Structure 1
Amino acid sequence: MEQFRQAAKRIDASDVVSLLREVYPEGVRGRNEAEALIAFDREFTDPAPEWRGFMAEAVADHLLRRSQPLGIVTAEKANWLIRAIAPAGKISTRGGFETLFRTIEQAAEIPVSLSVFAIRTLSALAGGDMEKPLDARDVTRLRRILEAGTGPVTAEEAEALFDMHDAFAGRSNHGSFDDLFFRAITNYLLRASRRDTLPRKEALSREPRRDAGKDIEAECAAWLATRIMRDGRPTFAERALLTLIDNGAEPDGPPLRSSRAA
């Protein structure tokens, strides 16, 4: 690895082939080698696309196929990955982004900490252009992040999703974003109300029951109203959430009424 660091200012496709043949013929063999790859990535401003794919696959392979438990990103693995690709709290390279999403795409299970980090990272990445809406690829990535989690959607994930929703409100986002957001938040509200819920992946792929609102407790409905009121008038997806609650028992208290009237 050191010879490539000293010999080049840019990694091209032939360098990647050489790395595969000479340095990593058997893949990344430990955390030290994975960390060296990630650190190497930060030294170059414009590496070839082949480099990003190589690094992402090598790190994902190390975490998921060479480290126990296989196929699963544990909390310890997630903490290591976040520290490695975002030492200052944010990812600064395209290789880092690719490594994060490649790992999640291939994982059978990820912890909440990595899910929340990935949601906020995706929001920041997609929102780099202040006018850009969320496109189909963004929503596909978001769905994969959520589906890799276990159990119902958590409070931390719901807050991150609402922050992402608010950041992109008013843009011409891909239509599937509203559906995914609505289903994920509904799943959280039911969980927070201590109701039985569908498995996460199933809950994110189908419409909630029309009467699901009757199972949402007033305290959770009040949280929803507070979140909706945070940035002004309800969006289409937020109105759908309010309608869901209206189809159930009417929760008490003025916050929800004021958000409906907005």
Structure 2
Amino acid sequence: MSAPSSSRTNLSDLIRDIETSASADRDLAARALGIVRDGVITGEGPTTEGRVHFSRAIDAVDVAWCMRILNAMAVADLPVSRAEAETLFQINEAASERNDDGRFDDLFAKAIVHHAASASGLPVPPRSVALSPDTAIESWAPTQAIGVNIEVLEWIAAQMRGKRRSNRKLMALVATLIGAATLPLIALPNVFDLGM
């Protein structure tokens, strides 16, 4: 079953707007990521056309859609927004099957940390650098809690809590930052479920 043509047009319009617009609208990028999420969940829709795609699976093409959206011209110079980060958390949770050689996990961790650092007022590199598979997250991510907004860390921890799929790299960075922020170590299990 193919997606209605309005979905295709909607995605085409969103992609065109975020790839060619001079004015930034991260909400459009979050909406486009939502279409990728829907394709991951159902295995159908404009991001899955022309290929076999199983529901609840993510593959290299899905990751390429995410990269294309997150690095589009209209948002390239902006930090990853909360709406974009929330949609990436939803994609992460929806994709129980991974056929992407770890590419989504890498992108996901980098995008979430990019959001956390920028929302805390810390400098972050442009998305094209920070989200690149060729850039190590450790080369730019904060390693100390100095200046990191605790509310942002708590939000990330709440997104991770109780999820069946965890991202070890993201969990390690968050645990390091929370620990450095002098939260008692005993509180860590309450921040997120450490069972992996």
Shorter-chain TM-score above 0.5: yes
Query: Is the 1:225–1:256 contact (alpha carbons within 8 Å) kept by the matching residues of 2?
Result: no
| Residue matched to 1:92 | 4
Identity %: 25
Cα distance in 1 between the residues matched to 2:105 and 2:137: 14
Q: CA RMSD in A?
A: 2.9
The amino acid that maps onto 2:194 is: A
Query: Which 4+ residue blocks in structure 1 deviate beyond 6 angstroms?
Result: none
| Residue matched to 2:69 | 145
The amino acid that maps onto 1:223 is: W
> Which of residues 29, 42, 65 in structure 2 aligns to 1:115?
29
> Which of residues 157, 173, 187 in structure 2 aligns to 1:244?
173
Greater relative contact order (Cα 8 A, min sep 6): structure 1 or 2? 2
Structure 1 length-normalised TM = 0.56
Query: Is the 2:160–2:193 contact (alpha carbons within 8 Å) kept by the matching residues of 1?
Result: no
Deviates more, 1:184-193 or 1:120-129: 120-129
Equivalent residue of 1:214, what SS?
coil
> Which of residues 198, 210, 222 in structure 1 aligns to 2:154?
222
> Which consecutive unaligned segments of at least 5 residues does structure 1 have?
1-44, 47-90
The amino acid that maps onto 2:153 is: A
Equivalent residue of 1:118, what SS?
helix
Cα deviation, residue 187, structure 1:
0.1
Larger radius of gyration: 1
Query: Is the 1:153–1:185 contact (alpha carbons within 8 Å) kept by the matching residues of 2?
Result: yes
Query: Is the 1:120–1:160 contact (alpha carbons within 8 Å) kept by the matching residues of 2?
Result: yes
> Which of residues 181, 187, 204 in structure 1 aligns to 2:114?
187
Cα distance in 1 between the residues matched to 2:158 and 2:175: 16
Query: Is the 2:26–2:84 contact (alpha carbons within 8 Å) kept by the matching residues of 1?
Result: yes
> Which consecutive unaligned segments of at least 5 residues does structure 2 have?
44-53
Describe how 1:128-143 pairs up with structure 2 within 5 A: 128-129=42-43, 131-143=55-67
Residue 105 and residue 196 in structure 1: after superposition, are their counterparts in 2 closer, same or farther (change >3 A)? closer
Richer in helix (by share): 1
Query: Is the 2:36–2:62 contact (alpha carbons within 8 Å) kept by the matching residues of 1?
Result: yes
